[in-house]
Chain A
Amino acid sequence: MQDETAAHVRDTVDAIYRSDSRRVLATLIRLLGDFDLAEEALHDAFATAVELWTEKGIPVSPRAWLISTGRFKAIDRLRKSARFETADVSALERLEVTETPDLEEDDVEDDRLRLIFTCCHPTLSPDAQIALTLREVCGLTTEEVAHAFLTPPPTLAQRIVRAKSKIRDARIPYEIPSRSDLPARLDSVLHVIYLVFNEGYLASSGASLTRADLSGEAIRLGRLLVELMPEPEAMGLLALMLLHESRRSSRATPAGEMILLEDQDRSQWDRAQIEEGVDLVERALASHRFGPYTLQAAIAAVHAEASNARATDWPQIVGLYDVLLRTDPSPVIELNRAAAIAMRDGPESGLALIDAILVRGDLTDYHLAHAARGDLCRRIGRTVEAIAAYERALELATQEPERRFIGRRLDELRLTSPR
């Protein structure tokens, strides 16, 4: 047995905590059948590791050691509390009769999927799915999640407690969904990851660094999902996030002012992320089982491959929007398609489509519909209409950088307006 210095052991334990604590937790939840008990067991196991490994050396398989130690610690806890309360006795009996389980690599990886699918179970509220996923799968603290979503920590803690109690009391099973349930259940997981990413992506302004970290967490989650379950739409979503993320540094001035896609400095785009994103899109498309995330990623990939806005393959983008509209019809996608049509066929064609959407009443309160209309009017010199559209957009916009951008456009237009 090797003589380990305390500092070396502590560093090793820290490193294993960072790389493996979520795996250990995922397996402990399966073995113990309870989130809270598994979390306590996880912390007990790591605390014991610091003590025992200094004395006896680091075990050959630290992860297996942590899992079985966590399980024994949990049994200890249940025994102690069973002396005072009767409620835990059945859990204890169940645990005591099951042998120490084999910890095959496949089981451990499956446990991570079980954890993801359980946290994103559709019978939990969307807010709870997000909070639980960030807490349990990503290992963020309750305070970090609360901060990122601008929610008071007690509210968020309550949300997590309730989600866990629903999992326990209503018996949400800890399992990977069956093949027939998989498409719907996977949608729910992808949606959670997408919402986390958007929360980080849209809040690009000012002092909210942690919100940019959210995009990073979403990408890590997306990677994990692709690694565990390489479904085309999982690849499509990861690609979509990478392709958007590649533009992060060029989307705003250092002062936090918004820069439109056509005005961005494309040399700043992250080539490695683009390459990875494009490769994933191609793999997802080749499967012929792709959906809306892959199509949106394909659109982002066309933008990423163009050296400037004019050189963009607009006919291809319009074609992709056509397919997207058929698989996932929505007025917002129609609006985006109209903007692509304007680039392909000229502003008048795009404007006619946007007016048709607005007349239908679908997006009358959506600021970007009015901003897009304002932009096209501006391009064809219909200044008065452009001003009116931007004014309406300003009334509806809530994000500060967007409001400032629309304000600047309005100032420019009022200068040229023949009033």
Chain B
Amino acid sequence: MKYLCLIYDNEKEFETMPRDRVEKMMGEYRAFGDGIKKSGHYVGGAQLHPTHTATIVRSRNGKVSTTDGPFAETKEQLGGYYLIEAKDLNDAIQVAARIPSAKSGSIEVRPLVEANA
């Protein structure tokens, strides 16, 4: 069963974090990534550029509109994701809880709809 773990964290805090703390966090992420690769959970994952680089696209009646956004007014923003293979939700939660940002932000765990074989 595949789960998408969406990592929500305060990007403003991350942007103003002192260098040594950023490096510590990066180290934690590397260790976490190595860990879930070894355990066979890892399918994919990436960090996202901050929300001010985002674009909202809408298509209505054949007309495409693009705007900036989403607005980063909410406390936590989507900053990255992991796609994992887990036995069940409990297993996925175990993995998600070890994502370094779980300590400061929150992780949304969503099961993927499996295509019928």
Contact = CB atoms under 8 A, between A and B. Distances in A.
Contacts of B74: none
Contacts of B67: 122-123
Interface stretch (B18-26, B31-39, B47-55, B102-110): B47-55
Nearest to A158: B52
Contacts of A170: 49, 53-55
Contact of A169 (B53, B65, B66, B68): B53
A123 B68 CA distance: 5
Contacts of B53: 165-166, 169-170
A9 interface: no
Interface in A114-128: 122-125, 128
A220 interface: no
Interface residues of A, number: 10
Interface of A: 122-125, 128, 162, 165-166, 169-170
A93 to B, nearest CB: 22
Interface of B: 49-50, 52-55, 65-68
Pairs A-B, 6 closest by C-beta atoms = A123-B55, A169-B49, A162-B52, A166-B53, A125-B68, A170-B53
B55 A165 contact: no
A123 B65 CA distance: 9
B105 to A, nearest CB: 21
A180 to B, nearest CB: 11
A162 B54 CA distance: 11
A178 to B, nearest CB: 14
A170 B67 CA distance: 13
Nearest to A121: B66
10 contacts: A122-B67, A123-B66, A125-B68, A128-B68, A162-B52, A165-B50, A165-B52, A166-B52, A166-B68, A170-B49
Contacts of A123: 55, 66-68
Interface centre among B50, B52, B55 (most CB of A within 10 A): B52
Contacts of A166: 52-53, 68
Contacts of A165: 49-50, 52-53
A128 B68 CA distance: 10
A165 B65 CA distance: 21
Contacts of A125: 68
A189 to B, nearest CB: 15
A106 B79 CA distance: 42
Nearest to A166: B53
A122 B58 CA distance: 13
A162 B49 CA distance: 11
Interface centre among A123, A162, A170 (most CB of B within 10 A): A123
A351 to B, nearest CB: 38
Contacts of B55: 123, 170
B30 to A, nearest CB: 16
Nearest to B55: A123
Contact of A122 (B52, B54, B66): B66
A325 to B, nearest CB: 22
B16 to A, nearest CB: 12
